[in-house]
Structures are given as structure tokens and as C-alpha cells.
């Protein structure tokens, strides 16, 4: 790597449909917000000839999205694909959001890619969320490399940042994280900062100067040799230690000179196997320049070091019914079709556009495919049911800025956009109509921040249901709930930024204006002691009247008992045919509540006595009498307000355990215990009232600097402290 003197490929840089999986590279860019991922993608596209110096599409002169600020803002919160071509290889660059709220887009990018570029800012360093993504990639053996950006920042130190990356990502083998090039700094600027103008290749021992805006190779001077030789020796030892040739290290230590070609081949194999992680430097091109610093080196690494789709294991698939399916041949364009929708978006002119990764077979325009998706119902909330349909594929294209370039087909290993797949949602599998298959879905975080919304006006109310359905179809990390207890429509999101984007998409894409209202939890009521009640419903008007009297006793039961109804009437005071009517009335009133309008639970209602009339008594009359009796008993008793309690598991770094446990206690939580987890983390288990963790997804992220995550599930309802119940009642009175 680094021996070629590349020029701009011009027309060859235009992305087209790939003709063989070996000519495809799928690369996802990972890094925190502000690390420079999108800027790097733009610089790589410029170097590859996908855009010209003015940031314009080469054929047609239409302004590209690279200069469109609105589109850049959209790309900062969603996965975007930028295909380029380099040395006859099609490179699908998947730019992912850096915000933690959009981790679903990041996971989709990881699913669609075969290798990852971790972008690290020299001025900001490595954050906890980036470390967690690195661990996820390591768990599946995904090849990785690092690109250090923002070297132009004051006090930016490439060597120090490389050391930090080795400590953060090297694990037990920090020598597996080593630079392939060293930055070359030019003359000091008036402000005292020394700009980076070129790179020194450690294996090739060549200097690559970008000062003119065009990469120029030359021999290093005497001043660069000492630093070059020291770093080169470390790199060679790191490569040899990962070599598949077990005799190479012994020969090297014995004084044998290993030729550069062998080193580069071993390096490429080690990178493709995911056991060696090269570090590179990159910077955007200066105004008027053709190539940004290090962009040629990054493109070389991608095309020569990163694996082809052929080297990725075939996907695990089942039949739609869940039965084991036959094993597919690895990334074979002639195999049965298996593709996955990794992203869904809406275009105001084209309609729904699905970004699809083809894992097997060949996807062609106008063919009929089988669409199958997994149900996503979890924790009792409303989700998306398992769905299947046969659907005709519309036009296939590859994105280029705001344009879509038509392609005739997409082979195994490639990505393409499919228009008007109206029934396909993000995460769905596309397969052959006569051979339906279903891919095992990728892991997604559970949205835990509730956003209660109401339509702003009557026209908005008419469009709200359809808008919400399309919103959750595009984003599987968003869950829709129609709460039957509180009668609220709740969008469960990953964080505040995720919620803001959801509201903006409802407004701008689907024309639905909504109001955000306070989220209410599902409270319950119960009796604090025994109480008696008498229900008398007597009315006389023309014709048959209404007559029913019943006497009941109510007593509390242990949590989880529900409502028991006991008949202790003697002597036929209440005719047998009307006893179920009393029970029906009692249960109907219990569902409505007896004090604050919350359902009544965990009580035993005993029917003791009553009166009936031979003509005027009826089913409806005794239902009304039963409800009146329960309300009278409630008026004479202490009514406790019950709140839902959740079982919470918090996975947090050991450094933040004390702060998290203290915070849980401040939320009236009870810590049940802790367990040691991998990677210097601790799992904290606790029970916390749900009313106290409405914003816990946001607060925990702030408390742990984005390194912790949690899950929750309903445990039970239990009595709310009197002072909390009184405060809640006051808030409800004020709201009404």
C-alpha cells in the first residue's frame, strides 16, 4: 500500500452496478458526532472523482448534496450511502450518525457493511460509545481500521492519538493498532501552528506530499529517516506477529530482510481477517485542490486490505414459519435471492425508497419478490406484527447526492435503492417468490423514552394514524403504543434528539402537526381497609320502573389478586338470575375507578344482601345498583393509589457504579444486587417506580457520559407514598 502515484480517475469514478462480488467493498464509517465522518466521505468522493472541486455532479452540473446544508443536517441523523469507484472497485461508503439517539441507523450500517472505518478526532479523542461499537465489531470479527482527523487543530498530536487508540482498541494486543503512515508537517504558520502537508509511508519508505493539492511521491529527506525507521520497525514486527507464516518472525529476528511485497500481502490478509487494525490520517482537500490529505491512502486500504463480500459468511436464514432453511452458498449471484432492507425513507416525488443489501442471488428491476418481516412486539407494547406479501420490485438505482442513478440489477454483495416497495419495512427480508426465506434480524436497542402526543387539530387527527404508521415502518428503533389505560398515543424513542426528529418528520414529510403532552403512567387504585356499601337504584315512571338494592362488603387482597366476587346472599334476597348482573356492574365500575379514575384492583367484593321487585327488577337495574354500592363503599374507605414498578437492569462501567446507584436511590429505587460483567462493567439490578424513570434514558446517558445502557420490564403495582400521591392529585386538579 502506498506505492502507486494515483491521479484522478474522472469518469471511472462514477459508481455503477457491480459485475461481480469481488469488485465490491462495503465500508461503514463509525465515530462520535463531530469526528469528521461526513467530511471524510466527501473528501473520498472528491478524490475518487465522484464530485468535482466545486462539489458538483460531473454529468449535468447539478449541485450535489455536499454543498446542501439541509441535506447535510439530514445525513447527520440517518444512515446514508455514497458509492464511489477506485481502481475498478465499487466502494459503498455508509456514513452513520454519531449521535447516540440514532444507534439504530448505526446498527443498520454495521449489518450492511463488511468492514468498518473508525473515525477519531485528534482534538476530541475516543469516547465511550465508540469503544462500545468497537467491541460489537470485535464480537463478530468485523475488519476495522482507524482514521485520525482534525490534525489541523491546535495541539493535535497524531502520535499521541495513535497511542490512545492502541490503549482503547488494542485490548491485550496494543501492537495490533499501528500507523501505516506518519504525518509530515510543513513550515509554521503565523499563529505558530505547523500544518500537516503530507505523509511518510512506513512500508514503502516514500514521502507523499499533498501541499499542491495533488498527491506527489518522493524520497524522504535525512531529517525524516530516524523517526521513519523506528516506527517502521514497530509496524513490521506488528505485521509479522499476525502473519499466517509462522516461520516469518523467526526469520526476521534472525536478521533476514523481509521484502515489502510480502509485508504488504501479510498486512492485507491480517486486516481482512480482523486481527490487525491500521491507523491512517486524513484531512479534507483545501479550496481548489483535487485530493485531501490521506484520502488516496484510505481508498487504497479499502480496496486492497478490506475483505470482499465473498469473504463474509452466508446469512443465517429460516423459512417464514421459523423452520431451518438450507445453507446458502456464500455470496453467490446465481443462488436464491436473499436481500435485506437496511433503511427506509420517503421522497416527496418518488415515494418510499428502500436501501437494500443483497446477500445472495441477484435483485432485478420489475421482478416479483417475497417480502417478509419479523414481529417486533416487546414488553406488552404495541409493535409490528409478522407480515408477508409478494411485491413487484420497482426501479433500481444507486444514490448520488439528491439524484438516483438507474441500474439494471444488484448482485450479491452490492447495495441498491428500490423504489415503491410499499409493504417492505426496515429489517424486512426480500427473497424469491418461489423460495421464501427470512433472515435473522439484527439486534436493536429498545426505545425507552416515552413521547406522548396529540393531534393539533381535526385535520391533523385524520392524518395522524397513517403518518405514525409510516414513521415506525421507516425506523424500527421507534415503537408506537396506544395505551388503553391512559388513552394516550405514545411514541417510544431512544432519546430527545430522536424524538425531535420524529416530530419534525411528522410535520415536514407527512403534514401532521402534533402537540407533546405529559406522559402518564398506568396507575391503579385499591382499598386500604374493609368497607361496606349499599346500592339502591329505584326509579318509577310510566310503564315498568327500575328497582334494585344490593349490599356489599369490600376488603383488600394481596397484590396481583385482581378482583374477586363472592356471593353470600341467603334466602333469595337477590334472585339468582340477577347476581351476575351485580357482579357485572361492580366490575364495570372497578374498571372506571372509584376515586381518581384509575382501575380498581386487588379487592374482594362480597354480595351480602339485597332486595328485588317482581316486576321492576332487571339486569340493567342490578348492574347500576352494584356500581353504586362499590362507589359508596369507596367513599367510606381509604383508597390507596398504586403505581407501576419496573425491574431495571443497568449495565455501566465500574467508574460510574456509585453514581448510578446513588441516582437510583434518589428515584425511590431499591437496588437488588450487582453482577460483574465483561469489559470492566457492572450490571446493577433494581426496582424503580415507573413514574421516576420517564426520562431515565436521557439522564443515564448524561450520568455515564454515554457509556451505560439499561433495560426495564413491568414488575407489579404497589402503593404510592402518600406525599407523592397527594402531589400527583394536585397536579391532576391543576391540569383539569
Pairing of strands 563-567, 603-611: parallel
Edge-to-edge strands, sheet with 216-218:
181-185, 196-201, 207-209, 216-218
Q: Average pLDDT by consecutive 10-residue portion of the chain (736 residues)?
A: 45 59 95 91 90 48 38 65 93 91 89 95 88 88 94 86 92 88 78 78 90 85 78 91 86 84 91 94 81 93 94 83 77 91 80 91 93 58 67 87 82 92 89 90 87 94 90 89 92 93 91 94 94 93 84 94 94 93 96 91 96 91 96 94 96 94 96 90 96 94 90 93 85 70
Residues 6+ apart with CB under 8 A from 46: 52, 53, 55, 285, 290, 291, 292, 295
Fold observed for domain 317-439: Elongation Factor Tu (Ef-tu); domain 3 (2.40.30)
Q: How buried is residue 120: exposed, middle or buried, by Cβ count under 10 Å (0-12/13-18/19+)?
A: buried
Task: Put residue 55 in one of left, alpha, beta given phi > 0 → left and psi -120 to 50 → alpha.
Answer: left
Q: Which uninterrupted H or E stretch holds 479?
A: strand 479-483
| Helical spans, DSSP H, in 484-609 | 496-508, 579-592
Indicate the SS3 state at residue 147: strand
- Two domains, one topology: 10-311 and 317-439: no
Short-list 344, 604, 355, 370, CA closest to 473:
344
> Quick one: pLDDT at residue 306?
95
Distance CA 567, CA 565 (A): 7
> Quick one: pLDDT at residue 442?
79
- CA angle, residues 328, 334, 337, in degrees to nearest 5: 60
Domain ranges in the chain are: 10-311, 317-439, 452-517, 524-637, 641-735
Edge-to-edge strands, sheet with 546-556:
531-539, 546-556, 603-611, 563-567
Quickly list DSSP for 583-652: HHHHHHHHHH-SSSSPPB-SEEEEEEEEE--TTT--HHHHHHHHHHHHHHHHHTS-EEEEEEEEEEEEEE
Distance CA 81, CA 345 (A): 12
Pairing of strands 709-719, 681-689: unpaired
Indicate the SS3 state at residue 251: helix
Q: Which uninterrupted H or E stretch holds 24?
A: strand 24-30
Residues 6+ apart with CB under 8 A from 464: 455, 489, 512, 514
Residues 6+ apart with CB under 8 A from 426: 108, 341, 342, 343, 344, 473, 474, 475, 476
What cell was used for 608? Answer: 351480602
Indicate the SS3 state at residue 193: coil
> Phi/psi of residue 638, each to 5°?
-80, 125
Are residues 320 and 388 in contact, defined by beta-carbon separation less than 8 angstroms?
A: yes
> Quick one: pLDDT at residue 411?
95
Indicate the SS3 state at residue 474: helix
> Quick one: pLDDT at residue 226?
76
10-311 CATH pick, 3.40.50.10540, 3.40.50.300, 3.30.499.10, 3.40.50.1100: 3.40.50.300
CATH superfamily, domain at 452-517: Elongation Factor G (Translational Gtpase), domain 3 (3.30.70.870)
Residues 6+ apart with CB under 8 A from 257: none
Fold observed for domain 641-735: Alpha-Beta Plaits (3.30.70)
Indicate the SS3 state at residue 309: helix
Distance CA 89, CA 267 (A): 19
Indicate the SS3 state at residue 7: coil
Distance CA 610, CA 532 (A): 13
For domain 524-637, the question of CATH label 3.30.230.10 is answered with: yes
Residue listed under C-alpha cell 475516543:
126
Indicate the SS3 state at residue 554: strand
Amino acid at each position: 500500500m502506498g506505492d502507486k502515484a494515483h491521479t484522478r480517475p474522472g469518469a471511472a469514478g462514477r459508481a455503477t452496478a457491480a459485475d461481480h462480488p469481488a469488485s465490491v467493498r462495503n465500508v461503514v464509517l463509525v465515530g462520535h458526532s463531530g469526528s469528521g465522518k461526513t467530511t471524510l466521505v466527501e473528501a473520498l468522493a472528491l478524490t475518487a472523482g465522484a464530485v468535482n472541486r466545486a462539489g458538483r455532479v460531473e454529468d449535468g452540473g447539478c449541485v450535489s448534496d455536499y454543498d446542501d446544508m439541509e441535506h447535510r443536517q439530514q445525513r447527520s441523523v440517518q444512515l446514508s450511502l455514497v458509492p464511489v469507484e477506485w481502481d475498478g472497485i465499487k466502494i459503498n461508503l455508509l456514513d452513520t450518525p454519531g449521535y447516540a439517539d440514532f444507534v439504530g441507523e448505526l446498527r443498520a450500517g454495521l449489518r450492511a457493511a463488511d468492514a468498518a472505518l473508525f473515525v477519531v478526532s485528534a482534538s476530541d479523542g475516543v469516547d465511550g460509545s465508540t469503544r462500545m461499537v468497537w467491541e460489537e465489531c470485535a464480537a463478530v470479527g468485523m475488519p476495522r481500521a482507524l482514521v485520525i482527523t482534525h490534525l489541523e487543530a491546535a495541539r493535535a498530536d497524531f502520535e499521541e492519538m495513535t497511542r490512545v487508540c492502541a490503549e482503547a482498541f488494542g485490548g491485550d494486543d496494543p501492537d495490533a493498532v499501528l500507523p501505516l503512515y506518519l504525518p509530515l508537517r510543513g513550515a509554521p504558520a503565523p499563529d505558530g501552528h505547523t500544518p500537516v502537508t503530507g505523509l511518510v509511508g512506513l512500508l514503502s519508505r516514500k514521502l507523499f506530499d499533498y501541499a499542491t493539492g495533488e498527491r506527489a511521491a518522493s524520497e524522504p529527506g535525512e531529517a525524516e529517516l530516524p523517526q521513519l525507521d523506528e516506527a517502521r520497525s514497530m509496524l513490521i514486527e506488528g505485521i509479522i506477529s499476525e502473519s499466517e507464516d509462522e516461520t516469518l518472525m523467526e526469520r526476521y529476528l534472525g536478521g533476514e530482510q523481509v521484502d515489502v511485497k510480502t509485508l504488504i500481502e501479510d498486512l492485507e490478509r491480517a486486516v481482512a481477517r480482523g486481527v490487525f487494525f491500521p491507523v491512517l490520517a486524513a484531512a479534507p482537500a483545501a479550496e481548489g485542490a483535487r485530493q485531501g490529505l490521506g484520502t488516496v491512502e484510505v481508498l487504497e486500504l479499502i480496496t486492497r486490505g478490506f475483505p470482499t463480500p465473498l469473504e463474509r459468511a452466508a446469512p443465517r436464514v429460516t423459512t417464514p414459519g421459523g423452520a431451518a432453511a438450507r445453507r446458502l452458498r456464500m455470496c453467490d449471484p446465481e443462488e436464491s435471492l436473499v436481500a435485506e432492507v437496511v433503511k427506509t425513507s420517503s421522497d416527496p416525488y418518488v415515494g418510499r425508497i428502500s436501501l437494500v443489501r443483497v446477500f445472495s442471488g441477484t435483485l432485478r428491476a420489475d421482478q416479483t419478490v417475497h417480502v417478509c418481516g419479523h414481529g417486533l412486539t416487546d414488553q406488552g407494547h404495541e409493535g409490528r406484527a409478522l407480515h408477508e406479501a409478494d411485491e413487484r420490485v420497482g426501479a433500481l438505482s444507486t444514490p448520488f447526492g439528491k439524484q438516483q442513478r438507474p441500474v439494471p440489477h444488484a448482485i450479491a454483495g452490492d447495495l441498491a435503492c428500490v423504489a415503491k416497495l410499499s409493504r417492505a419495512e426496515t429489517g424486512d427480508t426480500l427473497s424469491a417468490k418461489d423460495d421464501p426465506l427470512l433472515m435473522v434480524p439484527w439486534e436493536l436497542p429498545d426505545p425507552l423514552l416515552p413521547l406522548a402526543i396529540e393531534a393539533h387539530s381535526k385535520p391533523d387527527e385524520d392524518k395522524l394514524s397513517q403518518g405514525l404508521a409510516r414513521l415506525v415502518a421507516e425506523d424500527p428503533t421507534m415503537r408506537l403504543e396506544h395505551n388503553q389505560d391512559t388513552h394516550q398515543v405514545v411514541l417510544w424513542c431512544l432519546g430527545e434528539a430522536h424524538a425531535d426528529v420524529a416530530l419534525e418528520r411528522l410535520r415536514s414529510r407527512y403534514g401532521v402537526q402534533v402537540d407533546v403532552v405529559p406522559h402518564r403512567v398506568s396507575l391503579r387504585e385499591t382499598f386500604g381497609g374493609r368497607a361496606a356499601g349499599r346500592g339502591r337504584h329505584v326509579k318509577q315512571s310510566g310503564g315498568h320502573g327500575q328497582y334494585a338494592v344490593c349490599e356489599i362488603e369490600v376488603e383488600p387482597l394481596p397484590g396481583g389478586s385482581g378482583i374477586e366476587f363472592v356471593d353470600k346472599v341467603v334466602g333469595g334476597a337477590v334472585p339468582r338470575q340477577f347476581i351476575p348482573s351485580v357482579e357485572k356492574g361492580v366490575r364495570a365500575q372497578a374498571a372506571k375507578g372509584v376515586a381518581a379514575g384509575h382501575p380498581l384492583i386487588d379487592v374482594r367484593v362480597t354480595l351480602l344482601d339485597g332486595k328485588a321487585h317482581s316486576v321492576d327488577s332487571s339486569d340493567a337495574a342490578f348492574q347500576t345498583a352494584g356500581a353504586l354500592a362499590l362507589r359508596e363503599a369507596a367513599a367510606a374507605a381509604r383508597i390507596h393509589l398504586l403505581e407501576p414498578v419496573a425491574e431495571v437492569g443497568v449495565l455501566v462501567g465500574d467508574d460510574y457504579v456509585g453514581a448510578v446507584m446513588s441516582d437510583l436511590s434518589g428515584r425511590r429505587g431499591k437496588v437488588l444486587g450487582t453482577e460483574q460483567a465483561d469489559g470492566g462493567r457492572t450490571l446493577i439490578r433494581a426496582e424503580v417506580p415507573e413514574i421516576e424513570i420517564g426520562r431515565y434514558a436521557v439522564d443515564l446517558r448524561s450520568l455515564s457520559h454515554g457509556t451505560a445502557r439499561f433495560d426495564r420490564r413491568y414488575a407489579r403495582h404497589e402503593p404510592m407514598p402518600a406525599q407523592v400521591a397527594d402531589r400527583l392529585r394536585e397536579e391532576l386538579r391543576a391540569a383539569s
